[in-house]
Amino acid sequence: MRHIVMMRLKPGAFDSAAEQEYRETFDALARALPDDIFSVAVRRNIVDRPQNMTVMIEMQLRDETSLPKYLQHPLHQAIGRKYNPLVESIASFDCPD
């Protein structure tokens, strides 16, 4: 299953330190849940347009049962608590791989 999340953060909120923190956190999630998360990529938008999002996280999960395990994991919860107040817009998409 492919799980994609795109977020628009407040201007300046997704700097290089935040990008590094996202990469490290999602890499750690993949290591913590190896039977559920097969791959993960954190991608930063490089074109400034009003409709563009700031960051995209793309994950390959084993199946639908992996999603709640990932969402409820303490690492995911912690990064959410830190960055959710900076999110202006968010969209997710789940589909077969």
Per-residue 3-state assignment (H helix, E strand, C coil) for 20-83: HHHHHHHHHHHHHCCCCEEEEEEEECCCCCCCCCCEEEEEEECCCCHHHHHHHCHHHHHHHHHH
Instruction: Determine the pLDDT at residue 97.
Output: 86
Q: Which residues of the chain have pLDDT under 50?
A: none
The partner residues of 95 in beta bridges, in order of sequence, read 2
Domain boundaries, the chain: 2-95
pLDDT of residue 69: 97
Give the predicted TM-score (pTM) of the model. Answer: 0.93
Give the up-direction half-sphere exposure of residue 39: CA atoms within 13 A in the CB hemisphere: 6
Is CATH 1.10.260.40 the right assignment for the domain spanning 2-95? no
